Amino acid sequence: MKKSEMLMEDKLNRLFLECINELNKIGINLLNENQYGKIDISISKRNNKRYGCCKQEEPDKNYKTINKIRRRKIIKYEKFNKHHIEISKWVMELEDDIIKNTLMHELIHCIPYCNNHGTEFKKYAELLNTNYGYDISRLGDKKKDFEKSNIEYKETKNYKYKVICKSCKQVFYRQRLNRNFTRKYRCAKCGGRFEIIII
């Protein structure tokens, strides 16, 4: 392991412990393995576009729900006994508060009933946002975070299609398109049809 990677790992572990202490102060003891499961944390080895992820293993059978939709059974687990949190390498180059914001987002996923971005997740995110001034949301703003960290942000998107609404002239871009895009979809603003231009 390179020295720079070791420094990043040390920084990640230090910030992880700071986040755990902040959660303890508001009554959430994530190190209690009986209640929340075991949490591993590491720097992602892949070159990701995302900030981080929380992979979950060993579902707790006591938190199992079965929903029946038509002839299909949908089994959903709301608590897991193992969580693997990975933070992207590029995030580790940003300011500490941005890294902690990402860590807190992923740590919320370790709480039962918060493995998606539903109402429980939003409740805990709002609790941390008000108590500690975080900006935990479903998505991050890379450009804003790079600017805050005084790092030059390079736009890497290579769009192939320009989509224009024929009615309201709203423009957006896509890297891929469904074959039936113009037949299947309508503009969310006005309900108009789309025109596609290959870039």
What are the tens digits of pLDDT across the range 7-29? 999 999 999 999 999 999 999 99
- Domain shared by 41 and 131, yes or no: yes
Q: How far apart are CA 122 and CA 136, in angstroms?
A: 9
- The reply to whether 52 and 128 lie within a common domain is yes
Contact assessment for residue 12 and residue 99, using Cβ atoms and an 8 Å cutoff: yes
pTM for this structure? 0.74
Q: Is residue 141 domain-shared with residue 168, that is, in the same domain?
A: no
Residue range of the domain that includes 180: 161-198
pLDDT band for position 148 (50/70/90)?
Answer: confident
Average of per-residue pLDDT values in the chain: 89
When divided into structural domains, the chain yields a total of 2
Q: Give domain status of residue 154, yes or no.
A: no
Reduced to 3 states (helix: H, G, I; strand: E, B; else coil), residue 143 is helix
End-to-end alpha-carbon separation of the chain, Å?
43
Q: Are 110 and 138 in a shared domain?
A: yes
Q: Flag whether 156 is in a domain.
A: no
Answer yes or no: do 183 and 139 share one domain: no
User: What are the tens digits of pLDDT across the range 149-161?
Assistant: 888 777 766 788 9
* Phi then psi dihedrals of residue 94, to 5 deg: -85, 180
Q: Are residues 52 and 123 located together in one domain of the fold?
A: yes
